[in-house]
């Protein structure tokens, strides 16, 4: 009887330790737009109309019922004399249902992707709309990287979350 208890105790301890390691390795903190607007955490607010050079790829998102199509990308450019990166989401002017919502956010790491700051999500609800995340300074340091993630959803239908590669 003691050996069965010991096996269960060791097994439970291993399970708890494993769960703690998995929980501890979840690097992305849940964030709100206010966590990175107004100069918070080194981010700079930019106008939704700001365009830069596309880097790290881009993507398209769609759901069929109700229909919604959007595109997302990571861009870099000069913001107030500093080289910065940001995310952008553009909704389709012709394929956008009345209940659709598009979201975009940017993840920034300063420790080679061990952890990151999530800036957003920022949401848009109307057709033909462009929205950007706040911008963050680029760096020649190999430990700093960016990625942009996006999602489109409506009435329980979701495109799923899609991200650019880290850049």
Burial of 11 (0-12, 13-18, 19+ CB in 10 A): exposed
pLDDT at 77 over 70: yes
Q: Please write the tens of the pLDDT for every residue from 143-164.
A: 999 999 999 999 999 999 999 9
Is 40 in a helix, a strand, or coil?
A: helix
Using a pLDDT cut of 90, give the percent of the chain over it.
Answer: 77
- Answer whether 31's CB lies under 8 Å from 118's CB: yes
Q: Please write the tens of the pLDDT for every residue from 96-135.
A: 999 999 999 999 999 999 999 999 999 999 999 999 999 9
Task: Using DSSP bridges, classify how beta strands 101-109 and 145-154 pair: parallel, antiparallel or unpaired.
Answer: antiparallel
How many C-beta atoms surround the C-beta of residue 71 within 10 A?
Answer: 17
What is the reported pTM? 0.80
């Amino acid at each position: 009887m003691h050996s069965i208890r010991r096996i269960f105790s060791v097994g439970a301890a291993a399970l708890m330790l494993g769960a703690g390691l998995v929980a501890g390795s979840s690097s992305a903190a849940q964030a709100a737009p206010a966590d990175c607007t107004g100069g918070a955490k080194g981010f700079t607010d930019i106008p939704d109309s700001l365009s830069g050079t596309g880097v790290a790829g881009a993507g398209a998102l769609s759901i069929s019922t109700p229909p919604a199509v959007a595109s997302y990308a990571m861009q870099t450019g000069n913001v107030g004399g500093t080289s910065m990166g940001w995310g952008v989401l553009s909704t389709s002017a012709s394929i956008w249902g009345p209940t659709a919502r598009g979201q975009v956010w940017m993840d920034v790491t300063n420790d080679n992707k061990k952890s990151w700051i999530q800036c957003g999500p920022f949401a848009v609800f109307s057709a033909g709309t462009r929205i950007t995340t706040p911008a963050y300074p680029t760096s020649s340091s190999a430990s700093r990287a960016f990625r942009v993630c996006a999602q489109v959803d409506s009435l329980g239908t979701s495109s799923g979350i899609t991200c650019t590669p880290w850049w």
